[in-house]
Amino acid sequence: MRRIVVAITGASGTIYGVRLLQALQATPGIETHLIMSKWAKQNLAVEQTGYTLQQVNEMADVVYDDREMGATVASGSFMHDGMVIVPASMKTVAAIATGLADTLIGRAADVTLKERRPLLLVPRESPFNQIHLENMLKLARMGVEIIPPIPAFYNHPKTIDDLIDHNTMKLLDHLHIQNAFGGRWQGLAAAKKDAKGANSK
């Protein structure tokens, strides 16, 4: 059984975290541990994701309150196979970069770093200012994987779900979890064939 910690912060893009939970739930042999910040819970409704907090909680095997500093994931002795913060607010990125473990999300990320386990961040801000960039560079130099939700268009996305699925594919790939999300690049010949077929319609 592999354990994955998923944290959802108050940045825009709550649906990215929800979709990752859905994908992990559908994957055999994965145990998910979920932490949602107060503002992530607000965004779940504000962004009209179509999911209730109860539904999202039910996608995870274990759920923690972000203020629960005595939770198992707050300890480096808790063994897991990676932590994903999706989406990651710039406040959370700054807290991790400076070691300010004042929430369970920040503390869980801190122990993930100190135990040298995979930590993936999906930063959601635009444009990035110098502080944001310097914080992310600092974390990248520590081995944190920075995976912003930048869409690809070679796979001809037709819906918002297609764009979300592509980012989910990237996260699963970096967690070394096999998946069929997102539509992978099949090479230039296949792309030209698809374009020719589309133009003939």
Q: Is residue 147 a contact partner of residue 121, using CB atoms and an 8 Å limit? A: yes
Q: In the predicted model, is pLDDT for residue 70 greater than 90?
A: yes
The Cα 161–Cα 122 span in angstroms is 17
192 annotated as ligand-binding: no
Is 136 known as a binding-site position? no
Q: Which residues of 63-90 are buried (b: 16+ CB within 10 A; e: fewer)?
A: bbebeeeebebbeeebebbbbbbbbbbb
pLDDT at 185: 81
d(CA 36, CA 170): 21
Enter the pTM of the model. 0.93
Average pLDDT over residues 67-71: 97
Q: What is the pLDDT at residue 200?
A: 64
Residue 170 is assigned to a ligand binding site: yes
Report whether 126 belongs to an annotated binding site: no
Looking at per-residue pLDDT, the higher value among 1 and 183 belongs to 1
Q: Name the residue range of residue 65's domain.
A: 2-199
Q: pLDDT tens for residues 130-171?
A: 999 999 999 999 999 999 999 999 989 999 999 999 999 999
pLDDT in tens, 17-67: 999 999 999 999 999 999 999 999 999 999 999 999 999 999 999 999 999
User: 12 labelled as ligand-binding?
Assistant: yes
The domain that holds 123 is classified in CATH as: 3.40.50.1950
- Is 154 annotated in a binding site? The answer is yes
Structural domain tally of the chain? Answer: 1
Q: pLDDT class for 74, splitting at 50, 70, 90?
A: very high
Output the pLDDT for position 131.
Answer: 98
78 to 91, 137, 189: CA distances (angstroms): 25, 27, 47
pLDDT tens, residue by residue, 3-24: 999 999 999 999 999 999 999 9
3-class state of residue 153 by DSSP: coil
pLDDT surpassing 70 at residue 198 = no
